[in-house]
Chains A and B, each alone.
Chain A
Amino acid sequence: MKKPIPLAVLIFLALWIHGCDRKPVIEPSGKTIKIGLIAPLSGPDELKGQEGLRGMQFGMQMQPYLQNGDRIELVTADDRNDPALAVHVLQELAAKENVAAIITFSSSDPVLAMAKVADENKTPILAAIATHPDITRNNAFISQLCFDDRFQGTTAALFVRDELLVDKAAVFVNSNSVYSRDLASQFEKKFESIGGEITDRIVLAEGDAELHPRIKMVQDHSPELLYLPIKAADVLRVIREAQELQWKPQMMGSDGLLSAIIKQHKKELHLFEGMLAIDFFSHRAGLTPFGKKARDAYKHTPKGKEGAASTTYSTLGVEGYVLLLGALNRCSDPADRECINAKIRSTINFQGIMGNITIRPDGKAERPLYINTIEDGRAEFIVKVY
């Protein structure tokens, strides 16, 4: 009867190790905490909203409860990326739905509009993709999950100047986008300050038909790079015009461009070959332990089983939800908006999908930026900038 003793020890050790590894089970409290989502769920920019929503829903699948057992309920509002509508739905969510916090996948223009009334509503807002630097200015309730355009524009200028050794660049701007205008300015300012020359600044207006002569003019000035902080459809127009001129310049786009290209212009993907773009993520870069866990969980979802790839927006959706949940968990009353806002703005080294995120007290996010390129129809990682 010697064997049962070591066997019992082994069983005990196995149970003990298993017990150590297992997370404590959350007992539902029966209460519900509402979180709002303001995003363009319809209209031309619905990709951003729908993908962001998909990411948040996946985050909710992973963590449906707060640590105190309160269940999270998601209340969505479609702003169609319209500033006026965004302000309206913000007020509705804050007053009528009484949401504890809001995540928004709207662009910089609607979020800048929301910024004006953010302090009145006293509802913490986490802007997932609005990168304009002024979003966090003059208000205490909007924080950015994304890096801002100053970081992006400066990095883009330094990358092309110091790594690609580009001396001359031309810049394209969407006239009706404050995001595009500001990012282009940030790039130009930095590029010129370090000895680069901006050969042209091409402003694209909606319904602009006369692009060909302007591209010809840009070509004549021989820029080594076209900086394109513009919509994917406009980038495609520029590429086609350049193609007609038998011209294949080096090009660089801004955040979200690759997702839009892959989702909306899959058939024309070959035209974007060799294009550089800044992004929040890279499919080829390493994942954090949380990122690996999320990836494994995603594989078991219906979309994951279908092989549907995640996008920048859906990944930001997961990150935003989990970060917000962390802030709620750190408040003794998870419905206390002031507390939530304070906790969001004191997030230090939150483990995101691919790197750490810190949100400063001024609402600015410090997170790594990725520069990718399209190679053989796939987004390939070049560098990561902290």
Chain B
Amino acid sequence: MTGFVSSALFVYTDDTKSLIEPVQNNSLGTRITPVAFEALTQTPQKHLEEVGHVVVAGPLDVIKEIMRLAMEHHFSIGIIPTERQKHLIRLYDLPRNTSAAIELALRQDGPRIDLILCNGQIMLFKAAIGRIPFLDATITTSWFRLVTIALKKFIGFRLYAFKFLTAGQQQINTATSGCLILNHSRASFASRLISNGHSFTDGMVSLVISAPTSIVEYAKLLIQALRSAERYKHLPSSIGYIKSSRIEIGSETPLDVIIDDKHTTHTPVHCETAAGAVRVNVGESLQADNRREKAAKEEIEVSNLPGGKELLRIIKQKRIPFFSYASEERFNDLFPALREDARLNSIYLVLMVLSTMLATVGLYLDSASVIIGAMLLAPLMNPIVSLSMGILRGNIGIFKNSIVKIVLGILIALFSSALISFLFPHSSITEEMLARMNPTLLDLGVAIISGIAAAYSKSFREVIQSLAGVAIAVALVPPLAVAGIGIGRWDFQWFYQAFLLFSTNLVGIIISATFTFRVLGYSAAVRSKRSLVVVFVFLVLISIPLYLSYNRIVTDRIFEQKVQQERFLVNEKYLIIRTASIFRRRDKRIILMDVLAREPLNRADLNTFKKKIQANFDQKLVILINTHYIP
């Protein structure tokens, strides 16, 4: 059963003088003594003597002063908000309607709530230190406004060295752009980050620390804020969280502390909870929430924040980089595996020989399934991915080991396939072989995508099984086997074409895997620019023959399509070109045509036909014709 106080002091300001009458004429039987805020602050002892309940209506500063007095004089508080005090209404779940607000304000037995004091000043909503990227914006903010805020706050964004000390004497040294102390609030993006929630009665201060170490991380945080409609299950990668009854915050240089949107103090700042400091008549929903709250424990989630050696580097930077740099801790998971992959061992050599032999036999058999088997068996992808990391980190050890392993693998593969080709010199040329002798820029595209996939799969254990798919997509060993066959046949053009495809795959994977590791944050604190430049130079160099090859293939395909609309009148015999395909062998351009004819073609006809083609297309074209007769 709800009870009401028998008497109360009503504190008003000039703005809220109009409320005196409705408060005094309340129908709840409460006797009201109105007093102006100025009069109260002049002689508080006189007005507050034997007062058990105060109803206040006025600006935030006035309410905070009443709360301070309540801590001294132990009276309970009822608040009548004005229409403009939306944050206050949301904070204490107060009614918007005046008579309902008066009714709530005059109730007795309001719950005891905590007050957060920062350097002795009461904080009702939030306290911001440094630069918080849009986390203090309300969740009702439109995406356009949120992006605008994020962009505006990004100007001059950098991380500073901060030190946090909790009540449990946990000291955290990190780099952060700023932090946000939150009171009980469900309305901001920052409050959604805190999965465990917080309340008025847990005796704790909640602190959200933002540390996006790169532009990518900043953008990621913004995307998460835009996407998430509900609370996060895990803290975003650039956010830390501390919940303690007392937090001391220090920064390398004094920073302003904005409490409830007013600049009031600066770092170092000492924030603590005055547990159950005042009794305030809050709305029904909050009363229910706070009844559920049990004694809270100190919580510290700062694993996402920079620390150790990384910290020193970050605080030296005047602005955050585009990509993050990985900490040694993050890197420790991946690095040993890559170091091992770069090391030469007998298993690698045996697998290299077997996969090449299998690929070579598959190529001779024109069997796609055997060739795919060889792709899966081939161990060449691992040292290539290691090489990418070696280049990125400037790690000479991994770099050298990977190079040795790759080069040896290539030589073994070329030797194995050349040997088979040498032993079986009369085996026919198959479609599978020809398919690997016309590399184009599109193949470079496949290699680049595969390189991204390889680095990505390697970085996340849960998707490492996808490496098999990557190996099939990029197909390293078959072109190498075809190049080896070229050596066995003493055909340099053959070798060149196939080896160009292999080199395309190799360079494509290296460059894209390096880039992917960079994006994923595995780059070193000191970037290995020189090695990256070398890889880019290789990429540019390999792109030239690929571009020429691509152009040549496009020209050939256009010709193949065009030729289907061409007819020849040869010695009064009408020849219809049904299909034509162009391929190259050694330095010859060969056109294979399916021709429809009514009458049999004799040698003279074929010679005339050949002359017509050579006169109108290409003198050096070698012509192969399959003739089909019209019944």
Contact = CB atoms under 8 A, between A and B. Distances in A.
A179 B281 CA distance: 111
A23 to B, nearest CB: 25
A230 B565 CA distance: 26
A368 interface: yes
A260 B598 CA distance: 34
The 5 closest A-B pairs by CB, nearest first: A158-B574, A385-B567, A386-B612, A386-B568, A383-B567
Given A154-B569, A355-B616, A386-B566, 10 more contacts: A155-B569, A158-B598, A163-B576, A356-B615, A356-B616, A368-B616, A381-B565, A382-B565, A384-B565, A386-B569
Contacts of B569: 151, 154-155, 158, 385-386
18 contacts: A154-B572, A158-B569, A162-B596, A162-B630, A190-B572, A194-B598, A286-B562, A356-B615, A358-B615, A381-B565, A383-B565, A383-B566, A385-B567, A385-B568, A386-B566, A386-B568, A386-B612, A386-B616
B24 to A, nearest CB: 87
Nearest to B566: A384
A151 B571 CA distance: 10
Interface in A332-386: 349, 355-356, 358, 368, 381-386
Contact of B574 (A162, A286, A356): A162
A190 B569 CA distance: 13
Contacts of A385: 566-569, 574
Contacts of B562: 286
Interface in B573-628: 574, 576, 596, 598, 612, 615-616
Nearest to B570: A386
Contacts of B615: 349, 356, 358
B562, B566, B567, B598 — most chain A CB neighbours (10 Å): B567
B326 to A, nearest CB: 38
B476 to A, nearest CB: 39
Given A194-B598, A286-B562, A386-B569, A162 B576 contact: yes
A155 B616 contact: no
A155 B566 contact: no
The listed residue with most A CB atoms (<10 A of its CB), out of B566, B568, B596, B616, is: B616
Nearest to A151: B569
Contact of A159 (B567, B568, B612): B567
Contacts of A356: 615-616
A216 B612 CA distance: 44
A179 to B, nearest CB: 20
Nearest to A355: B616
B357 to A, nearest CB: 47
A271 to B, nearest CB: 27
Nearest to A165: B630
Interface string B188-206: 0000000000000000000
A151 B572 CA distance: 8
Q: In the complex, which range does the number of interface residues on chain A fall in?
A: 20 to 34
B564 to A, nearest CB: 9
A190, A358, A385: residue with the most chain B Cβ atoms closer than 10 Å: A385
Contacts of B630: 162
A384 B615 CA distance: 15
Nearest to A371: B567
A371 to B, nearest CB: 8
Interface in A145-198: 151, 154-155, 158-159, 162-163, 190, 194
Contacts of B572: 154, 190
Contacts of B567: 155, 159, 383-386
Contacts of A368: 616
Contacts of A286: 562
Contacts of B568: 385-386
A224 to B, nearest CB: 17
B598 A162 contact: yes
Nearest to B577: A383
A55 B568 CA distance: 28
Nearest to A150: B572
A151 to B, nearest CB: 7
Contacts of A349: 615
Contacts of A355: 616
A159 B562 CA distance: 18
A348 to B, nearest CB: 8
B574 A155 contact: yes
A159 B576 CA distance: 9
B573 to A, nearest CB: 8
Nearest to B609: A386
B256 to A, nearest CB: 48
A29 to B, nearest CB: 35
Contacts of A194: 598
A379 to B, nearest CB: 15
Contacts of A158: 569, 574, 598
A349 B612 CA distance: 10
A326 B338 CA distance: 69
Interface in B526-584: 562, 565-569, 572, 574, 576
Interface in A80-138: none
B566 A159 contact: no
A358 B612 CA distance: 11
Contacts of B616: 355-356, 368, 386
B261 to A, nearest CB: 55
Interface in B153-184: none
A23 B228 CA distance: 66
A349 B611 CA distance: 12
A194 B566 CA distance: 21
Contacts of A358: 615
A119 to B, nearest CB: 30
A110 B631 CA distance: 43
A285 to B, nearest CB: 8
A318 B612 CA distance: 24
A158 B576 CA distance: 10
Given A358-B615, A386-B612, A159 B574 contact: yes
B257 to A, nearest CB: 52
Nearest to B598: A162
A194 B631 CA distance: 12
A194 B612 CA distance: 24
Contacts of A162: 574, 576, 596, 598, 630
A374 B616 CA distance: 27
A109 B630 CA distance: 38
A286 to B, nearest CB: 7
Nearest to A155: B569
A79 B596 CA distance: 45
A88 to B, nearest CB: 37
A43 to B, nearest CB: 34
A267 B615 CA distance: 41
